[in-house]
Amino acid sequence: MNLNPSMPTPEERLRAAGQRVTAPRVLLIRLLDEAEEHLDAEELYRRARRELPSINLSTVYRNLAVLKEAGLVEQRYFARDHSREYFESAVQEEHYHFTCLSCGKVVEFETPLIAKVRVDLEAQLGVDIRHACICFEGLCAECAAAEKRTDADGVAPQKSVRIQLS
């Protein structure tokens, strides 16, 4: 969530990017700034309709494309097949994602190791890296532990459910 009081407002960011300030654009940027999870266009649309009932899904997609082109929104994929696009506010620090292949949980993280790889690549190849988009896939701690229990016993652990009979 990006509720830093020193952060420029959506209106200021739109103007700085040379974009028109419209109610849908301001709303989409604000929703992304406030989001605590990753949002796809459909979820942005559902949330936007609560505040702007006249908005339609095509308006959301069209404005996301404009905001992405203007550098105000970043598009992410969390699966190898790029089956679903997620969006984030571009004011976030560069960060990376780990996706659990079992439960689908997405974990954001930062690491200085990517900066080292960037420096090494620039030195070795003479390139000027402007952005890194790196996603890791595997099992989250909970799913890995469950898999280890399954491997050890040969039986998948069952969730316990307590039922009270009267």
Task: Say which CATH number the domain at 144 has.
Answer: 3.30.1490.190
pLDDT at residue number 26: 97
Which residue range is the domain that position 19 belongs to?
Answer: 1-90
Q: Are 28 and 42 contacting, i.e. CB atoms less than 8 angstroms apart?
A: no
How confident is the model over 45-56, as a mean pLDDT?
97
- Let me know whether 97 and 48 are in one domain: no
CA 72 to chain centre: 14
12 or 164, higher pLDDT: 12
Share of the chain above pLDDT 70, in %: 86
| CATH number reported for the structural domain that contains residue 64 in this entry | 1.10.10.10
Asked if residue 127 is part of any domain, the answer here is yes
Q: Are 21 and 53 in the same domain? A: yes
pTM, rounded to two decimals = 0.70
If one counts the domains in the chain, the total is 2
Closest listed residue to residue 90, CA positions, set 76, 78, 74: 74
Residues 149 and 122 in one domain: yes
The crossing angle, in degrees rounded to 10, of helices 41-51 and 57-69 is 110
